[in-house]
Structure 1
């Protein structure tokens, strides 16, 4: 990807790359810019003034600008466009702007992604230049002040995220979990409380809320949920979470209309912790329960495992039989959604890279900075999150359609 770094000349002394590489990169960029301008003008050839002259024409080139490419800094002259059209709404002149080489840009989005990555890996800002000077053009516009500005922007983005209006969104499914990203938070036993939801219209996943709190406590969860309620979040149809009782008490208080679904991964871990040693038979029995084709088959699998292992591992078996309904709630929703609803894996997957990148971080400047860094890493990957399978069925779930063993009940029955 190309990125504008600074205006004016640049030196290339000491670079091991042949001059022909820079020349090839320069020609490639220039050709791309020329093609974009030609396409823009060709699409507007029909726009003429009262004298029959074209309103959009070429107008030479801009001042030479240095661009960082994979081969190093390259000097390029971008073509200019004289656009005499006027926007009826604002009364201002129309302007041509290229995404390839925007006139205001000084660093590409990829540069902004590299700096947080280095910082979150524990590289001090003062070491950026010594580290990156090994790469052609790598030190252009890099300094400790750059990272300081970035972290300040992260905090501002996180503050805006926490106060945004959510009344225009409808989250049908919501996952809730406490994540430990290994950054310094406010208290020794603190974690990051996360809410992630599925939108009604397109089935995409979106981060709803992110805050610090004690994982086992009801009040931090309740505060977070109440804040979401104040900003417009309505009761979800189903909430998926682990076995923390504080979470479920808070969800029942703030979203009383929602149905609970306990995470099978967390429950399986709790069952395993009650066993004296690994028991493949118990693990297989649990898998048969949550992978069954219907609720009836799942209930039979749970009953069979209780009879087989109840005498030897009564404590472990009780962890499955005591929350029977909450473990099998997903069977009353579309079968296409089951793989998403059985566990809190959507949150685990979203935060897997965050945990890796914050594992060796040192010296986050307070709670706000730590949460801002976590928010930045999660937000940067949100566009790549997998949408829920069978997204068109989410709308039916919110509309009150009834599903039995994952199959939609006839419309007449739903109406009745």
Structure 2
């Protein structure tokens, strides 16, 4: 079997001779039966974006002058509880804190760590309240410039495949897998996963994606620490890390669900084509990737099976908003349910938009035009057609970060 080394590929990159494709570019060629041969592909940059609950930030910042309190006991950032420590920083006035992306504000379940991490990167002010070990309350305001050191660690990221959910029950059920309580009687389907764009989907079984490999996490250079929690041979995921302060706020943020605020991240990983086996694994297509459909109440109770082609092919990645159709309702349902707060004051902030499809499926006046698709399934011996009402993954962001990684490699700013 033909093989080549990382050193050989890096040399071709330095000489400007390497053939580098984003995963989107490569899959288009594959689906058109025009895929380049093994010898014509050196690197494919793969990307995924989605709700990734295992996101935590380790932050160090100053909240007071030295000597004002002994050590922090409790820390709140915009009302979101963070974990003080592990370093006590006795008498220094500085805090080490661990913030979970899924922790909710004590005042608002829909506002959580994912939203705060985005706002902090955008330069917005964050209110800090510290309850000290000796009973003092210290309040201050910080921005990203006050964060001395920040690191994101994702304990389970970039799942190779996931599950779609529907609700066969006769009542709505709130869940982290739907942006609102999911209505019953098979009225809608929600799913996660970027299909054949996902890095792990293109590298079975981890020939190139290994511990220590360099990646981009939310736009910042980072590393694979190893397998993530709950990782298995059937459903692998990764533990990743990168410098929080170097991240681009476009690629990270909050996502409201039926159970409160969650967090989304974007990951891009280069796959150097070192062998024909790695090359052959890159030929996988959406239609080859099975997607189980489960009861959202049972979560692991299988109802049917589909594939990622049925989820993505031919459907829109973003809505078109026609403000002439907007009726300025007393209570705007879209503004209320938009998972990323992209629709505010009758305006769509496309940079905040996640392409989830909720607006098009729930606006009473059809002000949002977006084909999110539907799927034909056989459930309990009956053929049913279920509309896809919510995506918790975003192919557009995944593709954009894949393209950024490709350009960095081509410009010798990212070495494999």
More helix by share: 1
Q: Would you say same fold, with TM above 0.5?
A: no
TM range (shorter): under 0.3
More strand by share: 2
Give the TM-score of the pair, scaled to structure 2: 0.21
